[in-house]
Amino acid sequence: MDVKSKQNNMLPIQKSDRIQFLDVLRGIAIFFIFSANIPVFSGFYFFPDEGRIPETLLFTDEILDFIMYTLVDGKFYSIFSLLFGIGCVIQYNNLKSHNKPFAPFFRRRMFWLLIIGLIHLCLFWIGDILTLYALLGFTLIYFIKLSDKNLLIVAAFLILFPIVHWLFVYFTELNYYRFFFITSGDYYQHFGLPTIDRNGIPFADFQSFQTNESILDYFKMNIGNTFIRTGAILREGRIFKVLGIFLIGIWAGRKVLNHDLLNNTKRLKKIALWGILIGLPISILRTYIEFYGGPEDYWKLSKIVSYALGTVPLAMGISALLALLYFKKPSAFAVFAPVGKLALSNYIFQTFISVTIFYGIGFGFTGKFGFTVIMTIAILIFLFQILMSKLWLKHFRFGPFEWIWRQLTYGKYLKIRKQNND
């Protein structure tokens, strides 16, 4: 094949081009993101302890909850955001090597991710992250050529900006995100869906939502919950956080691909050490504030500050530590790689499995279990996903949702089944 025809035949990144560790890290992140989401899926946060099965309330619940909130909440979606930025660099380099423009391709890729995310958000899961990733992904086109130094400066500004955002809202009393909570309540009332009073406005009744047995009402409620999700993202300044971590991911992707960061043990040790030394104490403080702080405004500001200062350093420290452990003994982590290769499919299937187990339209176990039992269920589901991912990849080249996304992005049919010579 001559050079010209090769340039005109752009293909997705092949298996030989993948960096195994990134798949492993993505698989680990998918598990811990699920472990952070399953308390919401299970109704743990919406139902009183009196309604739980007594045998599932264990002495380990509060301790495990404290540990998980400290080490997991916010950290692994941050790691996943880092990987998103790294993936952006991989795509950029791939297109550049084929003399193809990056912007049109990446816009198509983000557009179809946005469609998938909106379907997931509006119809199935209030906690969807794909929609936000896609919307912010469009902006990466304008950052991809920024220098390493400027990337880190802008990233640091964005990660710290939620503090400024909170102070601005507090002193100006411009609670603009309140509009979305009000809209959600109005939507619920318009369709005769159950609401509760919260701070003088009607709010979605999540107990009724999760115990509801009507599939039609389930979809109706999910659409209304989309407004709540939007308001919550704006209130906490997650837009700034995620975009900032994306930019760190672009920086990290350059270091991984162009400067062999994953083989630079000395640098990885520094990142792991300082990330954990800085991030862990602040994250413990954030957990203490969340668990034992009050409703006063200074506690709210303290949570914002501790999140901004502790979450990203700890996420980067964990990532570097996992890299060091992985390259010391890759075989011990290989089990996570298949899950990481099918990350999009596994993320979406976690929603379907959880809704089936916990919601009223499924088996109806919402609000029944204690925290330790819920985490055990998460582990069992993830073990099932490990098995299914490994079996799937024996016969198919892509996960089902990855396959759909790739075809829409590339605008052509891609064979999903493996051939004998694959």
* Confidence category of residue 23, pLDDT binned at 50, 70, 90: very high
Asked which of 208-217, 252-261, 287-296 is least confident by mean pLDDT, the reply is 252-261
What are 62-75's pLDDT values in tens digits?
A: 999 999 999 999 99
Contact in structure between 246 and 85 (CB atoms under 8 Å): yes
| pLDDT more than 90, % of the chain | 87
Residue 257 has pLDDT above 90, yes or no: no
Residue 11 has pLDDT above 60, yes or no: no
Instruction: Output the pLDDT for position 422.
Output: 61
Contact in structure between 161 and 305 (CB atoms under 8 Å): no
Return the exposure string of 102-120: e unless at least 16 CB atoms fall within 10 Å of the residue's CB, then b: beebbeebbebbbebbbeb
Instruction: Output the pLDDT for position 2.
Output: 45
Cβ-based neighbour number of residue 220 at 10 Å: 19
Instruction: Output the pLDDT for position 24.
Output: 95
Residue 201 has pLDDT above 90, yes or no: no
Instruction: Output the pLDDT for position 419.
Output: 80
What are 228-250's pLDDT values in tens digits?
A: 999 999 999 999 999 999 999 99
Contact in structure between 14 and 94 (CB atoms under 8 Å): no
Amino acid at site 151: L
What are 109-133's pLDDT values in tens digits?
A: 999 999 999 999 999 999 999 999 9
For 212, 360, 367, the CA distances from 208, given in Å and listed in that order, are 6, 9, 11
Report d(CA 262, CA 86) in Å as an integer.
13
Which range in 6-10, 97-101, 323-327, 368-372 is most confidently predicted, on average pLDDT? 368-372
Report d(CA 171, CA 162) in Å as an integer.
14
What are 324-361's pLDDT values in tens digits?
A: 999 889 999 999 999 999 999 999 999 999 999 999 99
Instruction: Output the pLDDT for position 421.
Output: 60
Read out DSSP for 51-88? Answer: GS-GGG--THHHHHHHHHHHHTTTHHHHHHHHHHHHHH
DSSP state of 353: H
DSSP state of 396: B
For residues 14, 22, 335, 403, the Cα torsion angle rounded to the nearest 10 degrees is -40
Instruction: Output the pLDDT for position 8.
Output: 43
Residue carrying structure tokens 């989309």 = 226
- CB neighbour list of residue 143: distance below 8 Å, 6 or more residues apart: 151, 154, 246, 247, 250
What are 297-325's pLDDT values in tens digits?
A: 999 999 999 999 999 999 999 999 999 99
Report d(CA 25, CA 19) in Å as an integer.
10
Instruction: Output the pLDDT for position 4.
Output: 42
What are 127-155's pLDDT values in tens digits?
A: 999 999 999 999 999 999 999 999 999 99
**Domain boundary assignment for the chain:** 54-327+373-384
For 28, 323, 342, the CA distances from 271, given in Å and listed in that order, are 19, 11, 28
Q: Quick one: tokens of 399?
A: 């996960």
Amino acid at site 137: G
Contact in structure between 263 and 301 (CB atoms under 8 Å): no
Contact in structure between 88 and 252 (CB atoms under 8 Å): no
Average pLDDT on 154-174 reads 96
Specify the pTM: 0.92
Report d(CA 299, CA 271) in Å as an integer.
30
For the chain, give the mean pLDDT: 93
Report d(CA 217, CA 180) in Å as an integer.
20
Report d(CA 164, CA 270) in Å as an integer.
29
209 DSSP β-pair partners = none
* Confidence category of residue 259, pLDDT binned at 50, 70, 90: confident
What are 28-48's pLDDT values in tens digits?
A: 999 999 999 999 999 999 998
Give Cα 63 to chain centroid, integer Å. Answer: 24
Residue 198 has pLDDT above 90, yes or no: no
* Confidence category of residue 19, pLDDT binned at 50, 70, 90: confident
Residue 5 has pLDDT above 90, yes or no: no
Read out DSSP for 252-315? Answer: HHHHHHHS-GGG-HHHHHHHHHHHHHHHHHHHHHHHHHHHH--SSHHHHHHHHHHHHHHHHHHH
Residue 13 has pLDDT above 50, yes or no: no
